[in-house]
């Protein structure tokens, strides 16, 4: 936007970044994020008439894998514009600048998870990012299976269900996603996700050779943010989670095809290193977006 200045934060401005975060998102996850990922060089703020109006962050995410090809990837995260400055194009300017910063820092691939479906068209038109990642999403209700909560068995039957470290989760995750196009997420991403899950009362779990990230929601529901499992194990895995975290409703995310899932994430790719990405089945998997 004309009149705004895009720059990295200067010394002493972190309290202003905290304030914008709290105003737009609330304080959940803020301290963990800044402890894990914050770096002046990975942050872009927009200053308008001497005031910080908007801010956004880059998170080195890992690599996008397509067969034997890998491309370093960064995620645009927590783009926030103060309410008084919205509708002026400032947030868009921050996103564009973050893409340029990522490319200069050696990240040919930049990804973004829009907060709602309307923003896919918005970012596509204004930044050139394209729809790329899709997810399957399933809502499981308490008592849905014949009056029994998600076909719930006694918890003692789920001997293979346990909470795991970020390192163990990473190994399981890569085994389950082997051969598919996905973001191979850096261990710091999974460590941060584990902190978020624990802060919200959930965790990272395995069931046999399957894995899932679980968060509890303020409305009493349970969010299974990523369930990676062979088909025969998926329902038993959900039942094991339900036994550990009783709730009225469970929202489950899992890999899907484009025509069966919904849009989840966008991609800006500086070159065509990853090859032909037009007809990939299943659809590329984003994973943890911290949304």
Average pLDDT, the chain: 88
Do 39 and 96 belong to one domain?
yes
pLDDT tens sequence across 128-180: 899 999 999 999 987 553 334 444 444 445 557 899 999 999 999 999 999 89
pLDDT (0 to 100) of residue 199: 85
pLDDT (0 to 100) of residue 231: 66
Is residue 291 domain-resident? no
Domain range spanning residue 225?
135-254
CA geometry: angle at 63 spanning 8 and 190, to 5°? Answer: 80
Is residue 98 domain-resident? yes
Do 171 and 187 belong to one domain?
yes
Is residue 280 domain-resident? no
The CATH code of the domain that includes 230 is 3.40.630.30
Average the pLDDT over 7-18 and give the result: 92
Do 240 and 205 belong to one domain?
yes
Do 108 and 144 belong to one domain?
no
Number of compact structural domains in the chain = 2
pLDDT tens sequence across 32-79: 899 999 999 999 999 998 899 999 999 999 999 988 889 999 999 999
Do 13 and 35 belong to one domain?
yes
Do 127 and 139 belong to one domain?
no
pLDDT (0 to 100) of residue 153: 46
d(CA 105, CA 43) in angstroms, rounded, equals: 12
Does residue 230 carry a pLDDT above 80?
no
DSSP, collapsed to helix, strand or coil, labels residue 139 as strand
Do 126 and 141 belong to one domain?
no
Is residue 192 domain-resident? yes
Residue 225 Cα distances to 69, 274, 288, angstroms? 26, 26, 7
Q: Estimate the share of the chain in helix, then strand, then coil, as percent rounded to the nearest 5.
A: 35, 35, 35
Is residue 290 domain-resident? no
pLDDT band at 27 (very low <50, low <70, confident <90, very high): confident
């Amino acid at each position: 936007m004309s009149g705004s200045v895009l720059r990295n934060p200067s010394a002493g401005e972190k309290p202003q970044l905290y304030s914008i975060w709290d105003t737009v998102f609330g304080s959940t996850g803020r301290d963990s994020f800044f402890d894990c990922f914050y770096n002046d060089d990975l942050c872009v703020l927009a200053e308008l008439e001497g005031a910080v109006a908007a801010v956004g962050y880059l998170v080195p995410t890992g690599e996008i894998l397509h067969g034997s090809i890998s491309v370093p990837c960064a995620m645009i995260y927590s783009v926030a514009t103060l309410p008084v400055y919205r509708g002026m194009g400032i947030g868009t300017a921050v996103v564009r600048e973050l893409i340029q910063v990522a490319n200069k820092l050696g990240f040919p691939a930049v990804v973004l998870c829009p907060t709602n479906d309307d923003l896919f068209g918005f970012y596509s038109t204004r930044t050139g990012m394209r729809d790329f990642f899709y997810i399957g999403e399933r809502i499981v209700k308490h008592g849905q299976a014949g009056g029994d909560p998600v076909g719930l068995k006694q918890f003692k039957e789920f001997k293979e269900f346990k909470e795991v470290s970020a390192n163990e989760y990473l190994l399981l995750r890569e085994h389950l996603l082997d051969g598919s196009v996905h973001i191979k997420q850096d261990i710091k991403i999974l460590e941060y996700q584990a902190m978020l899950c624990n802060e919200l009362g959930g965790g990272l779990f395995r069931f046999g050779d399957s894995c899932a990230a679980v968060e509890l929601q303020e409305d009493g529901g349970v969010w299974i943010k990523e369930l990676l499992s062979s088909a025969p194990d998926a329902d038993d895995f959900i039942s094991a989670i339900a036994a550990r975290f009783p709730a009225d409703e469970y929202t489950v995310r899992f890999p899907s095809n484009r025509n069966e899932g919904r849009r989840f994430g966008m991609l800006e790719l500086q070159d065509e290193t990853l090859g032909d990405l037009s007809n990939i089945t299943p659809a590329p998997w984003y994973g943890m977006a911290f949304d």
